Amino acid sequence: MEYTQLGETGLTVSVAGLGCGGGSRLGMNRGLSTAESVALVRTAMDLGVNYLDTAAVYGTEGIVGEAIESVPRDEIFVATKATIRKGMELLPVEDVLASLDNSLRTLGTDYVDVFQFHAVPPALYDRIREEYAPALLREKEKGKLRHLGLTETPPNDPAGEMLIKASRDPVWEVIMLGFHMMHQVARRNCFPGTMENGIGTVLMFVVRSIFSIPGRLEETMASLAAEGKVPDWLAEGEGPLDFLIHEGGAESVIDAAYRYARHEPGTDVILFGTGVEEHLRTNLASILKPPLPAEDVAKLNELFNHLEGVGLDLPEKRTG
């Protein structure tokens, strides 16, 4: 495993973080028992993963809590999140505080390393910053959380508007954001600010259905080509990104996706999710590989840097 500093939090975290939500939810969506899901988390920790990302809404905090009982608490970093809204109506701040307390009970810990406001849209950012962040900072003073952050909602904010403000706001110590080979918005709207202000970054959406479900990439390319957003040759035949797979390059499109995001300047932690141990090991292997060849990265940037909102589908339940 490789480790890095999470912004200026002082946390030395694994570059690969285990995402405990998504389409798998630690295998819960494919029928794993609690014991099997706990074993999966412990396997990840045995392989050096020390950053676990969960949330109240994921329903996996109990699994994470049971898994971390096997290690000293200061050797693992747990991030969780509280739902802040119903639709576009903010929940009372008291509900968010109650969510934090319930997460601590469910996780079986006195504190979380990172506590985040979950899925903040641009229209609600100012209120979260001015009204809700101060309340959580008071909880931080009580020792319930070590670092305060927030997550974006990529499907509802494809241009990354919220990130423009958040990435330059010193109240946030960690930002969780969407980034992948065909959605590079953060290079303009987030990474310059987070690097300048020492804010840690945790990347989600690195591998989404567009890269992992057969046929999805071809369908997307056909639509984009019809709209004039990508060259026509990308919509001809199968495997439009197979130019990345070659001697000295990537082994697969998914391998390329992990490596592309991992080595983007401004990246700290790459989240991956799984419900299968073999898949877990394969993902880790890709994240730990060297960067893609410079010419491949340049080609991806040339082809897709202008796109916004591509491949940002919500998690799809994985049962296979």
Angle (CA) 162 168 169, round 5°: 85
**CA end-to-end span of the chain:** 28
Q: Which backbone phi and psi does 52 adopt, to 5 degrees?
A: -115, 125
Q: Are strands 269-272 and 16-19 parallel, antiparallel or unpaired?
A: parallel
Rounded Cα distance between 75 and 188, Å, is 34
Burial (CB count <10 Å: 0-12, 13-18, 19+), residue 285: middle
| Catalytic option among 58, 132, 258, 260 | 58
SS3 category, 132: helix
Find all residues with CB under 8 Å of 251, minimum gap 6, and list them.
245, 286
58: annotated active-site residue: yes
Tell me how far CA of residue 57 lies from CA of 82, 143, 192, 248, 265, in angstroms: 8, 23, 30, 41, 31
Q: Identify the bridge partners of residue 58 per DSSP, sorted by sequence position.
A: none
Distance CA 307, CA 262 (A): 20
Residue 81 dihedral angles phi and psi, to the nearest 5°: -140, 155
**Who's near 165: CB < 8 A, 6+ residues apart?**
125, 129
Enumerate the active-site residues.
58
